[in-house]
Amino acid sequence: MTTLLPLAIVLACAWACTGARLVTDHQENRRALLSNGLAITPPMGWNSWNHFDCSINEKIIKETADALVSTGLAEFGYRYVNIDDCWAEYNRSAKGYLVPRKSTFPSGIKALADYVHKKGLKIGIYSDAGKKMPGSLGYEEKDAKTFASWGIDYLKYDNCNNGNVKPTIRYPIMTRALMNTGRPIFFSLCEWGDMHPALWGSNVGNSWRTTNDINDSWESMVSRADQNEVYAEYARPGGWNG
């Protein structure tokens, strides 16, 4: 059985922590760039990183999907099953495509997404707005199309190895690439609060990370809620502080 509590508690807090505002003219204007119709309420679900780090495989993801349903959490809105880092081979294919790690995801991400979807849930994946791990910088269109073809519903987009290119330049490229796929994919900006993404994130993504890492403790989660209080006015349906 996998651990469900860390992200579930954090995301459940998000609504109370960030506050919600009615749709404004600003939100209508942003749809020219971001119009996926997602994140009417804060996303709730599970992410692999906090508990498993890189020790993940398709069995763990399937067990988590099973657990969200069997525990009843899915009925309360916990529907995202998000695969974090270390799911991909370090090297791309000869044609430049991302490749699931054969040792841990032998069935491929598409088959795993199909399994999660049959449970009535949504599946997320991880990439990075940089050049390593492998990152998607310079591969935005190719990777977005790959994620869409696999049936991905959520993209967590990190901020590592970015060559000192500002996130306000890097992140909108992936926004457009995701929109060009025609598949609604929740876009989570994992920018660590480096350049105060609450101030500009609503034009780019469905959520934006405003703080450093959390750990698996109540004190850590509450402290992040307190840090987000200053950004409460920037949260609204369609875009949330993370």
Identify any residues that bridge with 157 across adjacent strands, giving them in sequence order.
127, 189
61 phi, psi to nearest 5 deg: -65, -40
Closest of 208, 209, 148 to residue 179, by C-alpha: 148
**Which residues are marked as active site?**
158, 213
CA dihedral 143, 144, 147, 151 (to 10 degrees): -160
Token readout for 99 is 């490749």
- The gap from C-alpha 51 to its chain's centroid, in whole angstroms, comes to 16
Distance, CA of 29 to CA of 51 (rounded, Å): 38
Q: Give the separation between CA 95 and CA 103, rounded to whole angstroms.
A: 21
Report the SS3 class of residue 15.
helix
CB 214 within 8 A of CB 224: yes
Contact call for residues 210 and 198 (beta carbons, < 8 A):
yes
- Rounded distance, CA 229 to CA 231, Å? 5
Cβ atoms within 10 Å, residue 110: 14
